[in-house]
């Protein structure tokens, strides 16, 4: 019991301290710019600019504009809304346009995030796992996530709570809240795979919800930025990057055929991922299905599911790599020491992709981009491979099932 109180104190103390430091930094623009600039993160004003953008979009709506396709102030960064409209309702309810409310909510988000990180480590208390968490925590991807206070922080916390909670109804609530806030958490649905009825019920509810907001999904998909940067990942990042090079140097890909080319790249990575998944997935009728899934496997299915799903169909800024941290406990137990060391260094490069800047059309930048994107393809491959191993233990699929006459 003493150990419980000690760990609880540590979680609250460090979460409170770190959150207060960042909030205090945000009170002074010069300190804010210097601090994040020192950490090699391009700082933006106002502080927590991604979270503050919700106030911008709400003001558009209140002025009678549709923030999904109308930008009356011609804002250079936050042009159009790329979140479900529920965010605008929350922004309005919480009065985030008032500075004190904005600071309080920002503090609570940061506090929860740091609390989750410390709880995550204490849950396993493994030195290697600790090193893996540290390389992400002190990476430019995480620093940018905090500096912008992007909503991915909130989604990561909800996903974590969904995985670690022992009560099924609480798991479902956290999962469904994250799905409502952003669509991509649907890829974490496999955390329910060991409970067949709950899994299909959750799938049905998810599909119904997506159908109900289908018009918003169409608008969001049109507004999503196709990042073509070293500090991004995904099939669409690759297709967009190749498009820019092709347009710059007069190669084959142009405005007329880009959409077809993008679909081809998405199809290629989807089929490639499916192939790696099927290597370890058996359709045998006689295979044994396990009933109890471990916490490491659930975490992997949540984190890898989101990474694989978002990689295959979209372009994503690297702060979304935070979901890969959920795969660490499982992979640390599965990879041998040599592979684990290689994986460790791959993560260092990928998590710190903001460090590799330069002229996007220079040979040096191109070579760095090829190197980093190759490492991210390796991460995609590794996660697809082990995704098949885990699901093979909990899902039985008979492709050809005939009844005897």
Give the SS3 label for residue 316. Answer: strand
Query: Is the predicted pLDDT of residue 401 greater than 60, yes or no?
Result: no
pLDDT for 99-155, tens place per residue?
999 999 999 999 999 999 999 999 998 899 999 999 999 999 999 999 999 999 999
Distance CA 193, CA 169 (A): 15
Q: What is the pLDDT of residue 1?
A: 54
Mean pLDDT of 292-319: 95
With 0-12 CB in 10 A as exposed, 13-18 as middle and 19+ as buried, what is 238? buried
Q: What is the pLDDT of residue 397?
A: 64
pLDDT for 301-313, tens place per residue?
999 999 999 999 9
Residue labelled with tokens 């993008």: 262
Q: What is the pLDDT of residue 286?
A: 67
Say if strands 316-317 and 232-233 run parallel, antiparallel, or are unpaired.
Answer: antiparallel
* Count of other CB atoms within 10 angstroms of residue 260: 10
Q: Which of 32, 23, 24 is nearest to 105 (CA)?
A: 23
pLDDT for 335-381, tens place per residue?
999 999 999 999 999 999 999 988 888 999 999 999 999 999 999 99
- Rounded to 5°, the CA angle 287-293-296 comes to 125
Query: Is the predicted pLDDT of residue 164 greater than 90, yes or no?
Result: yes
Tokens encoding 246: 């092709």
């Amino acid at each position: 019991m003493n150990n419980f109180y000690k760990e609880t104190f540590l979680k609250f103390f460090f979460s409170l301290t770190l959150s207060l430091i960042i909030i205090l930094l945000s009170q002074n623009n010069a300190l804010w710019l210097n601090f994040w600039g020192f950490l090699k993160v391009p700082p933006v004003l106002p502080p927590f600019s991604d979270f503050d953008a919700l106030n911008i979009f709400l003001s558009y709506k209140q002025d009678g504009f549709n923030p999904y396709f109308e930008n009356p102030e011609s804002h250079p960064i936050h042009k159009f809304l790329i979140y479900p409209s529920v965010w605008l309702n929350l922004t309005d309810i919480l009065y985030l346009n008032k500075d004190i409310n904005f600071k309080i909510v920002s503090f609570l988000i940061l506090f929860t995030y740091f609390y989750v990180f410390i709880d995550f480590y204490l849950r396993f208390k493994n030195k290697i796992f600790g090193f893996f968490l540290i390389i992400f925590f002190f990476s430019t991807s995480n620093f940018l996530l905090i500096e912008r206070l992007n909503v991915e922080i909130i989604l990561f916390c909800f996903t974590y709570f969904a995985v670690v909670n022992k009560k099924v109804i609480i798991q479902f609530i956290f999962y469904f809240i994250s799905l409502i806030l952003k669509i991509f958490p649907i890829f974490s649905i496999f955390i329910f795979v060991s409970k067949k009825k709950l899994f299909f019920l959750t799938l049905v509810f998810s599909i119904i919800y997506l159908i109900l907001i289908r018009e918003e999904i169409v608008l969001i998909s049109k507004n999503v930025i196709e990042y073509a940067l070293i500090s991004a990942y995904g099939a669409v990042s690759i297709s967009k990057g190749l498009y820019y090079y092709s347009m710059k140097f007069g190669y084959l890909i142009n405005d007329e055929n880009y959409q077809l080319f993008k679909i081809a790249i998405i199809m290629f990575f989807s089929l490639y991922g499916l192939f790696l998944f099927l290597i370890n997935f058996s359709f045998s009728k006689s295979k044994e299905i396990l009933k109890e899934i471990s916490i490491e496997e659930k975490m992997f299915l949540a984190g890898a599911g989101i990474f694989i799903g978002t990689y295959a169909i979209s372009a994503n800024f690297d702060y979304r790599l935070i979901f890969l941290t959920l795969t660490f406990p499982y992979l640390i137990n599965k990879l041998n020491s040599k592979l684990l060391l290689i994986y460790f260094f791959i993560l260092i490069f990928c998590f710190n992709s903001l460090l590799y800047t330069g002229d996007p059309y220079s040979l040096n930048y191109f070579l760095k981009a090829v190197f980093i994107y190759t490492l991210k393809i390796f991460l995609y491959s590794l996660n697809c491979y082990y995704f098949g191993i885990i699901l093979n233990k909990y899902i039985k699929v008979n492709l050809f099932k005939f009844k005897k006459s």
